[in-house]
């Protein structure tokens, strides 16, 4: 797929078919992630590929709890209706973790390192584009409790689970989201 087509037509997909995703496609998606830039080329990402229904059930239950807490804290009633069922129906979930010791100069920041997270986000964007080009739908999900996911997946202390990339063949056409145009977002200081 042509790059700009991929960038401009990639939807978030939350409705997946049961079909499994072949391992070589999962690897192509992760290899795209790995090509992102990172501070001092520290490559702070790691990937955990989950297909187990039991593990996905745990992730779903955790997300349900997180959602309930978020509704309480935010007062956003509408959030109750936001379904996270896709955590059960997505045939594959890739948990992306970031290693906070791999953050370049940023590791000396007073407020703690964050550049490693930016690099992982860039990797995730590559993964979403790659999935789309391969005919696989994806959604970037973050409504989970980091500590609970760390415990469930035995993640090292230095590594922070940053996102779930949920993947599967799309069950239908995914809704497109609009964007504010460049003119509202850009200042030309030439």
In the list 18, 22, 57, 74, the residue contacting a second copy (rule: CB under 8 A) is 74
CA distance 41 to 125: 17
Contact segment (CB under 8 A) with a second copy among 8-16, 57-65, 166-174 equals 8-16
In the list 14, 106, 166, 168, the residue contacting a second copy (rule: CB under 8 A) is 106
The bridge status of strand 45-50 relative to strand 92-99 is antiparallel
In the list 64, 125, 148, 174, the residue contacting a second copy (rule: CB under 8 A) is 125
In the list 101, 117, 148, 174, the residue contacting a second copy (rule: CB under 8 A) is 117
CB of 32 to a second copy, least distance (A): 5
Going by C-alpha positions, the residue among 178, 91, 175, 189 that lies closest to residue 136 is: 91
Binding mask 23-62 for a second copy (x = CB under 8 A): x---xx-xxx-xxxx-x-x-x-xxxxxxxx--x-------
- Interface positions, 81-100, toward a second copy (CB under 8 A): none
The bridge status of strand 92-99 relative to strand 137-141 is unpaired
Helices (H), 35-106: 53-74, 86-89
Nearer to a second copy, 133 or 167 (CB): 133
Structure tokens at 83: 């379904």
Query: Bridge partners of 165?
Result: 94, 140
């Amino acid at each position: 797929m042509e790059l700009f087509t991929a960038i401009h037509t990639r939807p978030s997909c939350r409705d997946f078919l049961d079909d499994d995703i072949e391992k070589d496609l999962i690897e192509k998606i992760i290899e795209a992630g790995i090509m992102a830039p990172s501070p001092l080329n520290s490559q702070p990402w790691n990937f955990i590929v989950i297909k187990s229904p039991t593990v996905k059930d745990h992730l779903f239950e955790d997300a349900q709890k997180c959602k309930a807490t978020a509704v309480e804290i935010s007062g956003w009633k509408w959030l109750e209706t936001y379904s996270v069922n896709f955590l059960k129906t997505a045939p594959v979930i890739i948990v992306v973790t970031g290693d906070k010791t791999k953050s370049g100069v940023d590791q000396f920041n007073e407020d703690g390192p964050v550049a490693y997270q930016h690099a992982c986000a860039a990797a995730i964007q590559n993964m979403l584009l790659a999935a789309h080009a391969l005919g696989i739908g994806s959604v970037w999900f973050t409504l989970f409790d980091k500590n609970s996911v760390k415990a469930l997946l035995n993640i090292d202390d230095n590594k922070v689970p940053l996102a779930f990339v949920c993947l599967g063949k799309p069950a239908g056409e995914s809704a497109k989201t609009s964007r504010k145009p460049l003119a509202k977002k850009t200042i030309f200081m030439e």
